[in-house]
Structure 1
């Protein structure tokens, strides 16, 4: 054999060897990763080859599956009362993936989760029968909030303070996830994505905004926990009119000057006196204010199991004294979701104990066997019972004598706090109308927070709870009067 042929043969052998090594590497080491790759269309086809498992509310499925008649995608997801439950379910789309509970529990619902596989599934390499997701959502509370928000742009969240169970998450506008479940729903997706996707924006969980005066509950808790006041009925010594510390800027309250001059914490909460809570925050300082806020869930991504991302926020960067004062009234750079403010109120209602909020109770296999349970959610004592009791006392005054009167539920103990949050450069956008409250009746309790974005009423009416408090009232009544 001449030298040229020998060299060509060796080169070809090296090429074959390299090919064998590469094939072995792909099959032995990269095979599973390639099979699981999100861009592998075979996975998407396999997900919709059979009916999906269901998301359950009150013992009834609010999802389903229907045959498409197609070869590749044999089934697609369907929804019952899609817009009502969209903040909970999210969507499962053959073209656009899955979000919300559909995304978090995608493996359970399509049968690919390894916990679902039986011995026979493993032997035959068959996809397991899908499981189900049981939620904590109460149908009546959810519907009450949804109906009460009709014609308004906003959101609401409700929690059972005793268990941490999320009873309702409501958004308006909402969307019908059934419109985008197929493989060819680009027109519907484009429509829902218009206006920066506001229709699909989860306001209740994932859009922190300035909480305004509802944050005064956090400020008051910090003051009481740090021993600044021993009673909510003694004068605070804070003057009205009031100049923001470190500035020459007067700070107005909703009540006309000097109604907030040297008032007690109870009166300050009822009249929503900005001077008192701004002064309290400036005296406490940023570190103590942030510590109280973080105990209540601020600056943390909370798994419900749908994650609150971005999280509600209390500033961590160094602030000036005037900025700290503004945080005391829920302005400057403080941001919160309705779920976060419902958590604050739930801790107050629950004697200072905050139970981790969650919207899923159990995850089961197709036979109903529990794979994962959140029924015994962890809790933390975030403030003393004494502090919580004083806060409840002051909040009851807001509802019985102040701007929270529209939240009254006949026969029930109800406490609340109104809020107005300024928005835009020089307050160019309509302010946010907030209301957060708790209700107790016959051993049942609930905490609710509501925000309204599209207000066109006078600021004093917003602060008085004219818009948001009636929504909270309907939700509380639906739970407390439930048989």
Structure 2
């Protein structure tokens, strides 16, 4: 063999070895990643090649599967009352993937979860029957909230305080996931329309739209003051001038009503009339660190609030001067909260100071109804003493019976709440957010905690209030939950 042939042979051998090495690398090292890549068409063909399992609400499926007449994707997702439950289910699209419960439990709902497989499936290669996801949502509560919000932009959350079960999770405006679940032109057109809509109907406002909580945050400040011992009871008079100049600034803070008895008012009276001066001064006296500590016990600044859909973080700022701390005491400055978060505040107050992790899935089951995973009562954590919780319930009752929250009264039930009207935008130019957070208890001892925010409505700016817009919605959710 001459030198030229030998060199050519070496080069060819090197190329063959390189090719074998690359193939081995792709199969062994990159194979799993390539198999799971969203752009791998085979994944979509497998996922949409069989009927899905279902998401269950109130014992009935709110999802389904429809056989497609053409193409290699044989089935697509369908939804019953899609707009009503989209904040719970999310969507499953042949083209755009899955979100929320559809996304979190994809492997259960399409049969790929290893817990669903049996030895016969492994031998025959037969497709595993998919499982189902059982939610905690009460259809009566969900429908009541969705109907009450109507054309308004906003959200509502209802929670059972005793076990953390989310009974209602509503976001408006909404959308029908059935219209974007396929891959034809109409699905694409509807997706483009939703994506371009300035009202953002696909945004889950209940979990993923933190906004200034306004005066509903005064409950957090009141809890901090009672827990710290700054005041011994909700009926002790405070040291609160009216008006109040924010410490370290020349900004004079006034109250919504000049006739409200806010000067040196007790916590009960200050909640009843929603006195800004009292709670701004109280937050300043406590200091940002103590208010933040109490807020974080309720769930603020938690970056991993999963229900199991991850909620956006509700924020209590970590760096503020005295004036900013005062504004934070009335739920302004850079304080933000989701409706879920403010429902959690009322939840802990209603449950004797213990916060139970909120969740909207109770069980994951296989096709035969056997439980694969159970989410019983969430973990409970004490965020305030029983005495503090009892006093706050009493003061919230005064708000509903005699104060700014009278539109939430329900005959035959004990109801407590707190209104809020939160300013936002450049120089507070935006339409204020109307808030209401509350709890209710019926004669049988059953309870519910609720939070409602109305971001926008057809009401004139001067008519926007927590009692006028949000409290009637909360009342309907509470009534539906307690009968």
Contact 2:164–2:358 under 8 Å retained in 1: yes
Contact 2:86–2:175 under 8 Å retained in 1: yes
Contact 1:240–1:259 under 8 Å retained in 2: no
Aligned partner of 1:203 in structure 2 is 205
Aligned partner of 1:465 in structure 2 is 467
Contact 2:218–2:330 under 8 Å retained in 1: yes
How big is each residue's C-alpha offset from its partner over 1:77-113, in whole Å with a ceiling of 9 and x where there is no partner?
0000000000000000001110010011111101111
Please state how far the C-alpha of 1:125 moved relative to its aligned partner: 3.4
The structure-2 alpha-carbon separation of the partners of 1:109 and 1:248, relative to structure 1 and needing over 3 Å to count, comes to same
Find the aligned partners of 2:105 and 2:175 in 1 and give their Cα distance: 20
Worse-superposed segment, 63-72 or 16-25: 16-25
What SS class does the counterpart of residue 167 from structure 1 fall into?
strand
Aligned partner of 2:408 in structure 1 is 407
Contact 1:430–1:456 under 8 Å retained in 2: no
What SS class does the counterpart of residue 453 from structure 1 fall into?
strand
Contact 1:157–1:339 under 8 Å retained in 2: yes
What SS class does the counterpart of residue 429 from structure 1 fall into?
coil
What SS class does the counterpart of residue 183 from structure 2 fall into?
coil
Aligned partner of 1:374 in structure 2 is 375
Aligned partner of 2:252 in structure 1 is 250
Find the aligned partners of 1:455 and 1:273 in 2 and give their Cα distance: 25
- Please show how residues 235-246 of structure 1 align to structure 2 within 5 Å: 235-246=237-248
The structure-2 alpha-carbon separation of the partners of 1:390 and 1:363, relative to structure 1 and needing over 3 Å to count, comes to same
What SS class does the counterpart of residue 179 from structure 1 fall into?
helix
How big is each residue's C-alpha offset from its partner over 1:296-337, in whole Å with a ceiling of 9 and x where there is no partner?
01111311000013x111112x21000001000000000001
What SS class does the counterpart of residue 420 from structure 1 fall into?
strand
Please state how far the C-alpha of 1:457 moved relative to its aligned partner: 4.3
Find the aligned partners of 2:446 and 2:462 in 1 and give their Cα distance: 32
Please state how far the C-alpha of 1:207 moved relative to its aligned partner: 0.4
Contact 2:347–2:439 under 8 Å retained in 1: yes
What SS class does the counterpart of residue 236 from structure 1 fall into?
coil
The structure-2 alpha-carbon separation of the partners of 1:459 and 1:417, relative to structure 1 and needing over 3 Å to count, comes to farther
Find the aligned partners of 1:87 and 1:402 in 2 and give their Cα distance: 33
Contact 2:431–2:461 under 8 Å retained in 1: no
Contact 1:430–1:455 under 8 Å retained in 2: no
Contact 1:254–1:460 under 8 Å retained in 2: no
Contact 1:238–1:276 under 8 Å retained in 2: yes
1:128 equivalenced with 2:128 (yes/no) = yes
Worse-superposed segment, 419-428 or 195-204: 195-204
Contact 1:254–1:463 under 8 Å retained in 2: no
The structure-2 alpha-carbon separation of the partners of 1:328 and 1:343, relative to structure 1 and needing over 3 Å to count, comes to same
Please state how far the C-alpha of 1:461 moved relative to its aligned partner: 4.5
Q: 1:216 aligns with which of 210, 215, 218?
A: 218
RMSD over aligned CA atoms reads 1.3
How big is each residue's C-alpha offset from its partner over 1:244-285, in whole Å with a ceiling of 9 and x where there is no partner?
111111112122156211111100000000011001100111
Find the aligned partners of 1:454 and 1:79 in 2 and give their Cα distance: 28
Structure 2 gaps, min length 5: none
1:280 equivalenced with 2:282 (yes/no) = yes
Find the aligned partners of 2:480 and 2:234 in 1 and give their Cα distance: 31
Contact 1:142–1:168 under 8 Å retained in 2: yes
What SS class does the counterpart of residue 207 from structure 2 fall into?
helix
The TM-score normalised by the length of structure 1 is 0.97
Please state how far the C-alpha of 1:385 moved relative to its aligned partner: 0.3
What SS class does the counterpart of residue 469 from structure 2 fall into?
coil
Aligned partner of 2:75 in structure 1 is 75
1:304 equivalenced with 2:307 (yes/no) = yes
The TM-score normalised by the length of structure 2 is 0.97
What SS class does the counterpart of residue 415 from structure 1 fall into?
strand
Aligned partner of 2:196 in structure 1 is 194
Please state how far the C-alpha of 1:71 moved relative to its aligned partner: 3.9
Aligned partner of 1:437 in structure 2 is 438
Please state how far the C-alpha of 1:14 moved relative to its aligned partner: 1.4
What SS class does the counterpart of residue 262 from structure 2 fall into?
coil
The structure-2 alpha-carbon separation of the partners of 1:459 and 1:222, relative to structure 1 and needing over 3 Å to count, comes to farther
What SS class does the counterpart of residue 198 from structure 1 fall into?
coil
Find the aligned partners of 1:456 and 1:53 in 2 and give their Cα distance: 40
The structure-2 alpha-carbon separation of the partners of 1:197 and 1:407, relative to structure 1 and needing over 3 Å to count, comes to closer
Q: May I ask how many residue pairs the two structures share in their alignment? A: 479
How big is each residue's C-alpha offset from its partner over 1:370-422, in whole Å with a ceiling of 9 and x where there is no partner?
11111131110111000000100000000000111110111000000000000
Structure 1 gaps, min length 5: none
Contact 1:420–1:459 under 8 Å retained in 2: no
- Please show how residues 44-443 of structure 1 align to structure 2 within 5 Å: 44-184=44-184, 185-196=187-198, 198-257=200-259, 259-300=261-302, 301-309=304-312, 311-316=313-318, 318-441=319-442, 442-443=444-445
